[in-house]
C-alpha cells in the first residue's frame, strides 16, 4: 500500500471520465480532495506529443523528391459516383521492385513471364533512361534473358543515339539482326570492334551501309572469323554499300564468311568488277543479281523485343534535348508534334547513299540455293530461257574445277598472316 501511495506521487493518471445518466463527465481529482501537495514531474514520453505512426510506403521522401505512390484505383460508376478500390498486392510489389530495379543482384532463374511485366513496369517509370542506374538495370535483364530483351535492333541514321547510349547498346546480347546504316561510324569506332565479340556472334543480318568504312575496317571485322573461327561466323546477309573506300582488297576478306547468302557492295570503290564477281562466285557461291533484291530494302530490319519502346525513349529524349528552348515551333513541321514518326522518317533518308547507288550501279549478290525463296523474279527469267540451264551447268562445273585447283593455294594464303593481322589478334 505504501508503494502504491509513493508511486501515485510520480505518476499522472490523467483525466478520469464517469458516465452518469447517459452522459459522460470528467471528474477532477482536486474536487475529491485527493491532490498531492508535491509538484509532480512531467511524465516521460518515448515520442513527442504530435507524433503519429505512418506506413513507410505512404510517407514522402523530401530529400529525393519522389512522387507519392497511389495505391488505389479510382473509377466512376454509371450514376457518376466516384468509386475506389485497392490495388493488388502483386501490383504494389511489382511497382516497388521496378522503382529499385537497379539494386537487384541478379535475375538469372527468374520466370520470364514475371520478368517481362517487371521490365514493362520499369520502362513505364523510364528507369532505363536514367544515367548510371538505367545501364545497371538493363544489364541485369540482358544477362538473364538475352534475345528476349532485344532480338533485332534498327539504328539506321541514329548516330546520336549511338554516341549517347553506346554502353547501353553494347549490353544487348544474342542479337540476330542489326542495322547501323548511315551512322558514319568509321573504321576505329568502338561499336565496330564490339561486333566481333562473343556477345554478338549470333548476328545473321548486318547492315553497314554508308559508314565511312575502308579496307582496314573490313579486315578488322573479319579477322576473328578468318583466324579463330569466331565472331560473325553465322552471318548470312551483309550490306556494305555506299562505302567508297572499300576496294577489291577489302572484298577479298569477305570470302571468310562461308554462310553468306546475300551481299550488297554497291557504291564501293571497286576497280575490277569482273574479277570480284568471279572471286565471289568461285569461293562462296554468290551470283550477281540483275534485279534489286528485296532483302536490302531496310524494311525487314526493325527493333523487336522487350526494349523496343526503350529505344524510342532514348530517341525522344535526344530529339527534345536538341530543340531550341525558346523558339516557337512552326506548324508546318509535323516532327515537333510527332517525334516518333519524324524520327522513323528521318531514319529512312540517306542522300549520300542514293548518290553512290546511282553512280556505281547495283552490285547485289545471292546464292543460287536460296533462289527459290528469295528470287522469284530471277527464277521466272531462268525458266523463260532454255539455254540458261545449260550455261548454269557449265559455269558450275568450271567453278568446281577452279575451286579444286586453287584449294591448296587458298589454304596457304589464309594460313600466312600479315604482321597487321597478328597485331590485331593480340588486341583481343
- Mean pLDDT calculated for residue range 306-312: 95
**Is the model more confident about 267 or about 343?**
267
Choose from 14-23, 273-282, 329-338, 355-364 the range with maximum mean pLDDT: 273-282
Q: Quickly list DSSP for 169-234.
A: HHT--S-SEEE-TT----TT-HHHHHTTSGGGTT--EEE-TTS--BHHHHHHHHHHHHHHS-SSTT
Confidence of residue 33 (pLDDT cuts 50, 70, 90): very low
pLDDT of residue 42: 58
Confidence of residue 424 (pLDDT cuts 50, 70, 90): low
pLDDT of residue 41: 55
- Mean pLDDT calculated for residue range 187-206: 92
Residue 143, pLDDT > 90, answer yes
pLDDT in tens, 381-409: 444 444 444 544 444 455 555 445 544 44
- Mean pLDDT calculated for residue range 278-288: 92
pLDDT of residue 18: 75
Worst-scoring range by mean pLDDT, 63-77, 211-225, 294-308, 408-422? Answer: 408-422
Residue 31, pLDDT > 80, answer no
pLDDT of residue 327: 54
To which residue does cell 523510364 refer?
126
pLDDT of residue 425: 61
Show the 3-state SS of the chain: CHHHHHHHCCCCCCCEEEEECCEEEEECCCCCCCCCCCCCCCCCCCCCCCCCCCCHHHCCCCCCCCCCCCCEEEEECCCCCEEEEECCHHHHHHHHHHHCHHHCCCCCCCCHHHHHHHHHHHHHCCHHHCCCHHHHHHHHHHHHHHHHCCCEEECCCCHHHHHHCHHHHHCCCCCCEEECCCCCCCCCCHHHHHCCCHHHCCCCEEECCCCCCEHHHHHHHHHHHHHHCCCCCCCCEEECCCCCECCHHHHHHHHHCCCCCEEECCCCCCCCHHHHHHHHHHHHCEEECCCCCHHHCCCCCCCECCCHHHHHHHHHHHHHHHCCCCCCCCCCCHHHCCHHHHHHHHHCCCHHHHHHHHHHCCCEEEEHHHHHHHCHHHHHHHHHCCHHHHHHHHHHHHHHHHHHHCHHHHHHHHHCCCHHHHHHHHCC
Confidence of residue 312 (pLDDT cuts 50, 70, 90): very high
Residue 418, pLDDT > 80, answer no
Q: Name the 3-class secondary structure at 90.
A: helix
Worst-scoring range by mean pLDDT, 163-177, 287-301, 356-370? Answer: 356-370
Cell triple for residue 122? 520499369
What percentage of the chain carries pLDDT values higher than 90? Answer: 46
Cell triple for residue 102? 537497379
- Mean pLDDT calculated for residue range 130-155: 94
Torsion of CA 254, 260, 262, 263, to 10 degrees: -10
Q: Which whole-number Å values give the CA distances from 27 to 10, 15, 19, 41, in the listed order?
A: 20, 7, 10, 21
Residue 32, pLDDT > 90, answer no
CA distance 1 to 328: 87
Confidence of residue 117 (pLDDT cuts 50, 70, 90): very high
pLDDT of residue 13: 65
**Is the model more confident about 283 or about 410?**
283
Q: Name the 3-class secondary structure at 29.
A: coil
pLDDT of residue 344: 41
pLDDT of residue 57: 45
pLDDT of residue 133: 92
pLDDT of residue 87: 79
pLDDT of residue 75: 74
CA distance 300 to 278: 29
Residue 172, pLDDT > 70, answer yes
204-217 core/surface letters (b: 16 or more CB in 10 A; e: else): bbbbbbbbbbbbbb
pLDDT of residue 63: 43
Average pLDDT of the chain?
A: 75
**Is the model more confident about 279 or about 26?**
279
Nearest to 428 by CA among 265, 231, 188: 231
To which residue does cell 532514348 refer?
314
pLDDT in tens, 241-253: 999 999 999 999 9
Amino acid at each position: 500500500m505504501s508503494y502504491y501511495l509513493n508511486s501515485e506521487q510520480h505518476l499522472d493518471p490523467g483525466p478520469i471520465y464517469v458516465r452518469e445518466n447517459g452522459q459522460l463527465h470528467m471528474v477532477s481529482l482536486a474536487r475529491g480532495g485527493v491532490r498531492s501537495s508535491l509538484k509532480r514531474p512531467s511524465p516521460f514520453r518515448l515520442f513527442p506529443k504530435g507524433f503519429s505512426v505512418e506506413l513507410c510506403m505512404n510517407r514522402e521522401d523530401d530529400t529525393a523528391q519522389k512522387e507519392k505512390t497511389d495505391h488505389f484505383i479510382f473509377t466512376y460508376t454509371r450514376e457518376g459516383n466516384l468509386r475506389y478500390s485497392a490495388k493488388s498486392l502483386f501490383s504494389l510489389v511489382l511497382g516497388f521492385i521496378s522503382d529499385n530495379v537497379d539494386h537487384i543482384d541478379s535475375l538469372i532463374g527468374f520466370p520470364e513471364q514475371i520478368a517481362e511485366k517487371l521490365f514493362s513496369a520499369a520502362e513505364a517509370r523510364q528507369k532505363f533512361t536514367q544515367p548510371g542506374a538505367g545501364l545497371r538495370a538493363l544489364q541485369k535483364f540482358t544477362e538473364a534473358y538475352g534475345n528476349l530483351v532485344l532480338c533485332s535492333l534498327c539504328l539506321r541514321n541514329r548516330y546520336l543515339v549511338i554516341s549517347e547510349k553506346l554502353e547501353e547498346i553494347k549490353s544487348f546480347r544474342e542479337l540476330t539482326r542489326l542495322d547501323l546504316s548511315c551512322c558514319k561510324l568509321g573504321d576505329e569506332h568502338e561499336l565496330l570492334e564490339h561486333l566481333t565479340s562473343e556477345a554478338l556472334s549470333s548476328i545473321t543480318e548486318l547492315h553497314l551501309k554508308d559508314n565511312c568504312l575502308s579496307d582496314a575496317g573490313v579486315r578488322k571485322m573479319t579477322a576473328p572469323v578468318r583466324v579463330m573461327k569466331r565472331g560473325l561466323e553465322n552471318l548470312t546477309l551483309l550490306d556494305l554499300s555506299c562505302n567508297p573506300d572499300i576496294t577489291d582488297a577489302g572484298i577479298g576478306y569477305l570470302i571468310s564468311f562461308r554462310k553468306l547468302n546475300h551481299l550488297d557492295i554497291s557504291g564501293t570503290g571497286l576497280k575490277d568488277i569482273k574479277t570480284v564477281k568471279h572471286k565471289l562466285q568461285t569461293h562462296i557461291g554468290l551470283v550477281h543479281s540483275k534485279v534489286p533484291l528485296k532483302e536490302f530494302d531496310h524494311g525487314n530490319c526493325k527493333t523487336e523485343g522487350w526494349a523496343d519502346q526503350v529505344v524510342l525513349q532514348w530517341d525522344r529524349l535526344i530529339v527534345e534535348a536538341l530543340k531550341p528552348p525558346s523558339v516557337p515551333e512552326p506548324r508546318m513541321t509535323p516532327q515537333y508534334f510527332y517525334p516518333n514518326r519524324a524520327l522513323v522518317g528521318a531514319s529512312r533518308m540517306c542522300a549520300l547513299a542514293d548518290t553512290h547507288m546511282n553512280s556505281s550501279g547495283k552490285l547485289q549478290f545471292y546464292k543460287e540455293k536460296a533462289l527459290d525463296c528469295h528470287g522469284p523474279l530471277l527464277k521466272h527469267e531462268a525458266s523463260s530461257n532454255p539455254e540458261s540451264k545449260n550455261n548454269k551447268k557449265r559455269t558450275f562445273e568450271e567453278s568446281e574445277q577452279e575451286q579444286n585447283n586453287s584449294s591448296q593455294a587458298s589454304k596457304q594464303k589464309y594460313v600466312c598472316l600479315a604482321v597487321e593481322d597478328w597485331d590485331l589478334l593480340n588486341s583481343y
